[in-house]
Amino acid sequence: MTHTLTLVRPDDWHLHLRDGAMLKAVLPETTRHFARAIIMPNLVPPVVTMADASAYKARILAAMPKGDSFTPLMTLYLTEETNPDDLAAAHAAGLISAVKLYPAGATTNSASGVADFDKVRPVLERMAEIGCPLCVHGEVTDRDIDIFDREAVFIDRVLDPIRRAVPELRVVMEHITTKDGADYVKANPERLGATITVQHLMLDRNDMLVGGMRPHYYCLPILKRRDHREALLAAATSGDARFFLGTDSAPHPTHAKESECCSAGCFTAPVALACLAQTFDDAGALDKLEGFTSLHGPAFYGLPVNTDTVILTKSDSPVTFPKEIKNGADPVTVFNPGSPVYWSAP
Dihedral sign computed on CA atoms, order 147, 153, 157, 163: positive
30 binds ligand NCD, rule: CB under 6 A: no
Which of 12, 180, 207, 248 is an active site residue? 248
Smallest separation, CB 316 to ligand NCD (Å): 34
Q: Tell me whether strands 309-314 and 343-344 are parallel, antiparallel or unpaired.
A: antiparallel
Q: Position 15: which residue type?
A: L
E strand or H helix at 99: strand 96-101
Binding part of the chain for ligand NCD, among 64-72, 101-109, 147-155, 290-298 by CB under 6 A, reads 101-109
Binding residue for ligand NCD, selected from 220, 274, 275, 285, defined by CB under 6 A: 220
Is position 12 an interface residue for Zn ion (rule: CB under 5 A)?
Answer: no
Looking at beta carbons only, is 200 or 314 nearer to ligand NCD?
200
Residue 137 touches ligand NCD, criterion: CB under 6 A? yes
Do the bridges between strand 96-101 and strand 71-77 make them parallel or antiparallel, or are there none, so unpaired? parallel
Segment 303 to 322, residues that bind ligand NCD, using CB under 6 A:
none
Of 216 and 242, nearer to ligand NCD (C-beta) is 216
Q: Does 108 bind ligand NCD (CB under 6 A)?
A: yes
Examine residue 231 and tell whether it contacts ligand NCD (CB under 6 A). Answer: no
Pick the stretch among 49-57, 107-115, 151-159, 270-278 that binds ligand NCD (CB under 6 A): 107-115
Q: DSSP string of 124-193?
A: HHHHHHHT--EEE------TTS-GGGHHHHHIIIIIHHHHHHSTT--EEETT--SHHHHHHHHH--TTEE
* Of residues 29, 39, 37, the one with CA closest to residue 10: 37
Nearer to ligand NCD, 181 or 291 (CB): 181
- Which H or E run contains 123? helix 121-130
How is residue 286 annotated by DSSP? G
- Note if 142 is an active site residue: no
Cα distance between residue 286 and residue 275, in whole Å = 12
Q: What's the closest the beta carbon of residue 263 comes to ligand NCD, in angstroms?
A: 6
Vertex 79 angle, CA 73 and 81, to 5°: 120
Q: With CB cut-offs between 5 and 8 Å by kind, which of Zn ion, ligand NCD, none does residue 108 bind?
A: ligand NCD
Q: Which is nearer to Zn ion, 249 or 333 (CB)?
A: 249
Nearest by Cα to 101 from 124, 85, 73, 122: 124
Q: What are phi and psi of 255, to 5 degrees?
A: -65, -25
Binding ligand NCD (rule: CB under 6 A), the pick from 7, 219, 233, 271 is: 219
Among Zn ion, ligand NCD, none, residue 237 binds (CB under 5-8 Å by kind): none
Residues 236-265 interacting with Zn ion (rule: CB under 5 A): 248
Q: Which residue is nearest to Zn ion (CB)?
A: 248
Would you count residue 114 as binding ligand NCD (CB under 6 A)? no
Quick check: 112 binds ligand NCD (CB under 6 A)?
no
Contacts (Cβ under 8 Å, ≥6 apart) of 16: 39, 40, 42, 248, 249, 250, 251, 265
Q: What is the distance between the terminal CA atoms of the chain, rounded to a whole angstrom? A: 18
Active site residues: 248
Contact positions toward ligand NCD, by CB under 6 A? Answer: 16, 42, 107-109, 137, 219-220, 248, 250, 264-265
Contact positions toward Zn ion, by CB under 5 A? Answer: 248
